[in-house]
A and B are shown apart, each in its own frame.
Chain A
Amino acid sequence: MTDSSTTKLEVDIAIATEGLTAEPKSFGKLARERFFKHKLAIAGFIGLVLIASIFVLGPWLSPWAFDEPNVLNRRAGPSRDHPFGTDTIGRDLFVRTTMGGRYSLTIGALVAVLATLIGTLLGSAAGFFGKWIDTVVSQLVNLVLVVPAIIVLSVVALRFGAQPVGIAVVLALLLWTRIARVVRGVVMQFREQEFVMAARAAGAGSGRILFRHILPNVFGAVIVEITLLIGLAIVLESTLSFLGVGVKPPTPTLGNLVFQAKGDINSDPIRVLLPGMFIVAIVLCVNFLGDGLRDAIDPRSRADEKE
């Protein structure tokens, strides 16, 4: 069941959309059933909700502020007062970690939204209108792929990335290509399909056809990409922050917490690993969720169950 998730996306989409057109009514229901049968996906979903609530509630429940230093209690180990200990200038790490988690999750979600917007807009324009628009968008995609991502990210992040919103914009400008590719493929398939032809024949304009008839169907195909994008964005943000070119302290993110603690890895490894493990947990949950969604959408696995 899980093996279908790694096969070529294009194939998945081709088949997914085939299913969409062949049986538009039963598809949604079947997909939902399949998703809820997928235990890992449920576990991923519950895990995400759990982690998110820790991040939301953590700073609330704790009496400390995330940027409140205490020179008398630096580098303290875990205690009743400071469950995760304190950092080099005595700030409470539990609050900083959960605050950092908030920022990381927010950046992830923001990137997903922005990248989806840009990717869907450019991808559907390329797929729907074809011709030179398609050429321009395709070359733009290739351009983003050909420059080593880390360089672009670092350059732009150095300048604009000190704030969470800046970093999110930078990441979205790099990650929209994944969405655009998927959307372009699906739109191109739908463009020639009967119900679209019928709408065109009935005198519907391009915009109307695109927004009313095609884009709703694209959603199924990109939802998996969007899910995975959240994980990817969180990883990239934390990586940039770890390299020291991302969000600047004192604003905490899971990545720059690791960056700040890195120097003490020999004496205090837990302080380095704890925020890192939160990142791993988030990405793991997001991937499980994405896998479940993909299985739910991919009718191939449905077919082999029926036979």
Chain B
Amino acid sequence: MNAPGAALLEVDGLNVGFKTSDGLVRAVTDVSFRIDPGEVLAVVGESGSGKSVTALALMKLHPRSAVISGTAMFDGVDLLALGDADMRAVRGNSIAMVFQDPMTALNPVFTVGFQISEAVLAHNDVTKKAAWARTVELLDLVGVPEPRQRASQYPHEFSGGMRQRAMIAMAISNDPKLLIADEPTTALDVTVQAQVMEVLREVRKETGAAMMLITHDLGLVAGAADRVQVMYASRLFEAGAIDDIFYDSRNPYTRALLGSIPQVDSERTERLLAIPGNPPSLLNPSPGCPFMPRCSERVERCTEELPTLLEIRGREHRSRCHLAQELAPISEVLP
């Protein structure tokens, strides 16, 4: 058991690279963070910033072309050092994952119930019948109507929102301590998005699981997360409690992201393309700050020197910016 106050997950110096014919693509560079039991950590950042790769590396579900270093202490063991069999015992059991696209995340040729009960059977020594009963119970819990009948239907007979509920049911089937949700609502309609977030909230209340919520949508983060960490070009750019990030961000990139949250009444945009310019190539990083070409605050130093991730005023608020302390209060910059 954890000592009180100990972290559930403590990631230290995580690096993930992909060997390609053009060279090494550095998808995650020197990322360190922690998740405490029961809390929600939101991970935000533009497309390609390394959010999914981070999550998959923790589960060791990365492609074979990946090279990984660092440590990830979970419940006293280093996930990254686990062998295949030990890792399998963790997957779907104490750490479970919900993926972005519920349309493709379920196997089309097996019934939804079969796929959920498989997760139950993989980690518990119970009969198939008991696993099926548990499956129906789980579907009921995530708000699938008529769970008994629905369990023996195939994924194509489910709507997108219902499939994502089924995915959540599968993820919580073994009472995980950590739930990793990789953009669980991105592929869904706006109205359904809210419902799925609500289901996630409820199942967390039920199971007490901590959650790593990966998302593009800062609007979603505001209501759901305890802490936020912002990634850019494979690195952590800012991390802190939700209020620190929303009301006292010390990083121009985070501020740019905040400025690009779509208004409630405006047309919803899936991507955070409001920031002009494109993220840099991850192949041959230049020496300076990777955000420099797009940054409105850039100074001479930014071209030569990569800023370090520094603690701000001794709080658990970290930012990677040469000007972290000098930036004007956020209220003066954003409307």
Contacts and interface: CB of A to CB of B under 8 A. Distances in A.
User: Are any A and B Cβ atoms less than 8 Å apart in their complex?
Assistant: yes
Interface of A: 305-307
6 contacts: A305-B20, A305-B21, A305-B22, A306-B22, A307-B20, A307-B25
B103 to A, nearest CB: 19
Interface in B1-31: 20-22, 25
Contacts of B22: 305-306
Interface string B20-53: 1110010000000000000000000000000000
Interface of B: 20-22, 25
Contacts, number: 6
Contacts of A306: 22
A307 B17 CA distance: 12
Contacts of A307: 20, 25
A306 B20 CA distance: 8
A interface majority secondary structure: helix
Nearest to A37: B21
Nearest to A306: B22
Nearest to A304: B20
A305 B21 CA distance: 6
A306 B25 CA distance: 10
A307 B21 CA distance: 9
Contacts of A305: 20-22
A307 B22 CA distance: 9
A163 B20 CA distance: 53
Contacts of B25: 307
B209 to A, nearest CB: 33
B241 to A, nearest CB: 35
Contacts of B21: 305
A305 B25 CA distance: 11
A307 B283 CA distance: 9
A98 to B, nearest CB: 42
Contacts of B20: 305, 307
List the 6 closest pairs (A to B, CB-CB), nearest first: A305-B21, A307-B20, A305-B22, A305-B20, A307-B25, A306-B22
A84 to B, nearest CB: 45
A87 to B, nearest CB: 51
A306 B283 CA distance: 10
Nearest to A1: B21
B282 to A, nearest CB: 10
A148 to B, nearest CB: 34
B217 to A, nearest CB: 25
A306 B22 CA distance: 7
B67 to A, nearest CB: 16
A60 B239 CA distance: 81
A296 B256 CA distance: 41
A241 to B, nearest CB: 45
A2 to B, nearest CB: 15
A306 B21 CA distance: 8
A22 to B, nearest CB: 18
A136 to B, nearest CB: 36
A22 B186 CA distance: 27
A304 to B, nearest CB: 8
B27 to A, nearest CB: 10
A307 B20 CA distance: 8
Nearest to A305: B21
A3 to B, nearest CB: 15
A19 to B, nearest CB: 19
